[in-house]
Amino acid sequence: MIIIYSLTSLRRYRRIIPNDIAAHLFKPLINRDLCNMNAPVSLDDLNQEQRLSVTLDDNMNALILAGAGSGKTRVLIHRIHYLVSEKNYHLDSILAVTFTNKAANEMRERLGDLLLRPIGRMWVGTFHSLAHRLLRAHATEANLSPTFQILDQQDQYRIIKRLMKENGIDEAKFPIRKVQWFINQQKDEGIKPIDIDAGYNFFIKQSAKVFALYETHCQVNDLVDFAGLLVKSHELLKNNASLLEHYQRQFKHILVDEFQDTNTVQYQWIKLLRTENNHIFCVGDDDQSIYGWRGAKIENIQKIEQDFQPIKVIKLEQNYRSTGNILSASNALITNNQNRLEKSLWTESGDGDLIDVYNARTETEEAQHVVGVINDAFNQGQNLGESAILYRSNAQSRVFEEALIKRHIDYRIYGGLRFFERAEIKDAMGYVRLVENQNDNIAFERIVNFPARGIGLATVEKIRAYSVENQSSLFQSSIAIVDTLPTRAANALKSFIEMIGSIDDDTKHLILSEKIDGILVKSSLMDHYANDKTDKAGSKKENLDELVSAAGQYTHDEENEMSETQGFIALATLDTSGESNQQNRDCVQLMTIHSAKGLEFPRVFLVGMEEDLFPSRQSKDEPHLLDEERRLCYVGMTRAMKKLHLYYADKRFLHGQSFYSMPSRFLEEIPDAFLNHFKSPHKDYSDSASRESFGKRQTIVAISSSPYSIGQTVKHAKFGFGTILNYEGSGDAARVQVKFSKAGTKWLITSYANLEIA
């Protein structure tokens, strides 16, 4: 019997037949026909610049400046396909570096589809996965055992904590997370403990000491952390000339995606592998460099032309994602960054709608308006999943979640948890619930030893046993057995019981926001999270502050049988099943702008466009940080495919306080030709509603016989947006004092200033 298989059918059956059988049946064909066959390259779906990039001379280095939505992934994959199929390079001679495992897997799959065959053990992956592969292959040369262990962040944290305790370093003065961040920052820069000059900085001195202890511990115990994978793989190649030469010969072509996000060690790693006999193909966009806070060096992509000479620079400027108006507005914004590699995105898809800019009174109204627009679009047949709400800080999600819940609209927090599902919020609400209801066993279990107060598992088990036997709550059981415990355990439990009673007595007559603020302070939760210095710069404490703000804005239904506190607890626990968080459901997407990188949505709402929020207060005095904030705004705007909405509020609750806000300077940098301006229909500048401006109490009052009011937002043709602080004089001699977001505070004669009411 003769069986004839086409190559197409062979590939199909190869995927479903077990590997051992397939290897026996198909080995001759696979070896002879399949693995040596290269599918022809098709360039029909590429534009001129993409084709030029893909078919570039294989003896050239290249920097592909790929703007947002310009098809950079397609170019990368087609370039590899071209090198293999048209230039006959073996897959093993190509090194392809991505920044996420998802991107690496996508590249493998799409490349396999183009080549019509599996790509095997081709060197494609993230920096960390490739470094790990290298170290496993050459563990002995790297002074590691073949079975070395990789530390994750939690493992690293526990080791640092133990080393600090053993060496008498007070974690209250030197928070473990902050020390951990310091260590990883040094390693990303390729800095060793011995190279650190602490000077008179005691924190750096102690952190460097821990760093040295940690490195010794890892070396003795054959451990490597994430940052260490890159450091050790770089040292391996640098210190072994023959090994370095081997890989320099093997990798004829080195392709790197998202080059603008490389850190110091990653750049040195690539630079070390490159010689005159192999070639670099870098793809990136300096306008989308938004990870400086985690070590990315934007200057890496800016110095490629000097370090990898000779090099061909190709700009991918045709955008396949957004409308013309969105791109024109984004281009205008990003040109305000001075030190950038110039490019200008364009599209053939038409101008599309203007960008809507909405001026709300408060963040609550901002959220209500956004959700209203989404609801109207849904009623007109648009899927909920087509809308994304992007914000600068995670804490901003809370008001939008509340508005969505009230409208019964499904949503999903992308890359994070819902506000009331975050651990620090659950901890806080645990205290609120137990103070409100001492029979709440779930709340008791969560907070009885958090923050740690010496109530161990043995004590908790005794409480549980008494509770079951006597059918009493855990809190009441604690009171019943406290005097039967050993002295140390008894004192710890007694202190907890007394603390709950004291909080109840001290807060029962306070308004809701003051009550919750008091609970956070008296329970020591606020201090605990204030000292938890993570790489997110105090986001947990920020979320606790936002909880106080939420309580201050909570409107209780007086006809509800629940108390105000019980109503707020119900709001916090509403819709916690997680069903609407499922990715396969049609739901509104909520995320930080950082999380939105690489994504796209038909309709985008970019909210909180105010000074001190976006750009952040921390960035305003540092030009390089302000530039990164502008790039972040650019990334947010270019996520929109068809419709972009920009929002700012006059007044916003931040960190538990009400602040008067000024519109973001980024709004000023977008020409009005691309914008539709909308104001809250409820805005009234003549009222006497109290506002806080930059932490100071202000009152909006009308200026007699004048269209202006103190506290009012105005716009000047030269100075931009500002807030009226004071006035004097009358008639043609009348002057107003205005605080501008960029130009500072100025006195202006109203008859000449031509101020526009914003």
Q: Please, are residues 224 and 131 in contact by the beta-carbon 8 Å criterion?
A: no
Q: State the DSSP H helix or E strand holding residue 477, giving kind and residue range, or none if neither.
A: helix 474-481
Q: Which of 328, 334, 366 is nearest to 678 (CA)?
A: 366
Alpha-carbon distance of 3 to 403, in angstroms, equals 65
* Rounded Cα–Cα distance for residues 50 and 659 (Å): 48
Q: Which of 98, 260, 268, 288 is catalytic?
A: 288
User: Is the Cβ–Cβ distance between 142 and 234 less than 8 Å?
Assistant: no
HSE of 727 in the Cβ direction (CA atoms, 13 Å)? Answer: 24
The CA distance from 287 to 633, in Å, is 10
Structure tokens at 667: 């709004």
Rounded to whole angstroms, the Cα distance separating 24 from 208 reads 58
Three-class DSSP labels, 230-246 = HHHHHHHHHHCHHHHHH
- For the question of residue 258 being annotated catalytic, the response is yes
Question: Exposed e or buried b for every residue in 210-247, given b needs 16+ CB within 10 A?
Answer: bbbbbbeebeeeebbbbbbbbbbbbebbeeeeebbeeb
Among 49, 50, 72, 368, the one annotated catalytic = 72
Q: How many CB atoms lie within 10 A of CB 278?
A: 18
Indicate which residue of 215, 258, 285, 545 is catalytic.
Answer: 258
Nearest residue to 461 via CA among 470, 479, 480, 474: 474
Write down the catalytic residue from 188, 215, 257, 628: 257
Instruction: Name the DSSP letter for residue 738.
Output: E
- State whether residue 429 is helix, strand or coil: helix
3-state DSSP call for residue 708? coil
* Candidate list 55, 73, 335, 698, residue with the active-site label: 73
Q: Are 196 and 204 in contact (CB under 8 A)?
A: yes
Q: Judge whether 72 counts as a catalytic residue.
A: yes
In eight-state DSSP terms, residue 535 is T
Nearest C-alpha neighbor of 77 from the set 60, 94, 100, 99: 94
Which DSSP symbol is given to 207? H
Rg (CA), the chain: 30
Helix (H, G, I), strand (E, B) or coil at 337: coil
Give the residue carrying structure tokens 């490739």: 130
Options 639, 643, 665, 691, the catalytic residue: 639
Q: Which residues contact 387 (CB under 8 A, 6 or more apart)?
A: 374, 377, 588, 589, 601, 602, 603, 604, 605
**Active-site annotation, residues:** 72-73, 257-258, 288, 639
